[in-house]
Amino acid sequence: MNDEPPTTAATADRARSFGSVAEAYDRGRPGYPAEAVAWLAGGEAKVVLELAAGTGKLTRALVDQGHAVFATEPDEAMLEVLRERVPEVSARAATAESIPANDRSVDVVVVAQAFHWFDHRAALAEIARVLKPGGHLALVWNSRDERIPWVRRMGDILGRQDLDTSSAEHVVHSEHFGFVEEATFKHWQEVNRETILDLARSRSTVTTMGEEERDDHLARVLAFYDDYGRGMDGMQIPYVTRCYRAVVVDDDDTGPDPDAQEPDGPVVSDGTDTDMLLIDFR
């Protein structure tokens, strides 16, 4: 999922619009540089839960770096693409406000391009619940580098909602998390005459347009590409990947109760038996 903060009924509709363009989203959206992925996860192999995982753009990169990844995504159409793209990952339909994971069961919770859509109060409490002591939340957004004049012109057409990472402030002010670290990484996305249309189609503002308005918008995108692209050689779009992470506050550091009863249902393991890690992820 992606793009604009849900402040009205119209933007809430946009938040639910990505399934209709899941394939275009997967083809058109940029990936994430390996250095950013490593920073988000925090180093050595970990148990990672990705929320609002979309079509698996970040999921694939996390798996490739050796992490045990579980994914949730509320949109079934997006989830179908994710399962095809990253078949080795356990994934299910769920929201950030009701995470299907046991307490203190994951090392990292990561959210790419989607944190602004969440009910932050409910989601942050849920994220804190599922993180192990010392675990952290990581957020990431890809933003076009509009210091370059032609990229600013692209922003005039595509919109600039993806430049807004202000929802990370909810973590800064949350009682559930400590100091928020920040890091940025640069990379380039190569697009051609077809995939730049996918990039445009995958934006929620475009998915909710009427057919005529959408056709006019896509024509403007193509005209821009024809002015600035290089035909078969494609166009290189510069991005700044903006990353944030914060360690969960452990409100109960007294350790396990030796008299506590074993819970019903799956028991959280140390990560080696990952089939038992998340409820309903088997």
Distance CA 207, CA 204 (A): 5
Structure tokens, 69: 């990844």
The pLDDT tens digits of the residues spanning 103-126 come to 999 999 999 999 999 999 999 999
Looking at per-residue pLDDT, the higher value among 205 and 137 belongs to 137
**104, 247, 272 from 174: Cα distances, Å:** 18, 11, 31
| CA angle in degrees (0–180, nearest 5) for 13-122-105 | 115
Q: What does pLDDT average to over the chain?
A: 84
The answer on pLDDT for 277 being more than 50 is no
State yes or no: pLDDT of 235 exceeds 80: yes
**For residues 187-201, b (16+ Cβ closer than 10 Å) or e, as one string?**
bebebbeebbbbbbb
Q: Locate 79 and state its tokens.
A: 């989830």
CATH tag for 9-144+162-188+240-252 (out of 1.10.3720.10, 3.30.565.10, 3.40.50.150, 3.40.50.970): 3.40.50.150
Percent of the chain predicted with pLDDT > 70: 80
CB 117 within 8 A of CB 1: yes
pTM flag (> 0.85) = no
Q: What is the pLDDT of residues 146-196, one digit of tens each?
A: 999 999 999 999 988 778 899 999 999 999 999 999 999 999 999 998 999
Strands 177-191 and 235-248: antiparallel
For 36-87, the pLDDT digits (tens) are 999 999 988 899 999 999 999 999 999 999 999 999 999 999 999 999 999 9
Nearest alpha-carbon partner for 174 in 113, 109, 112: 109
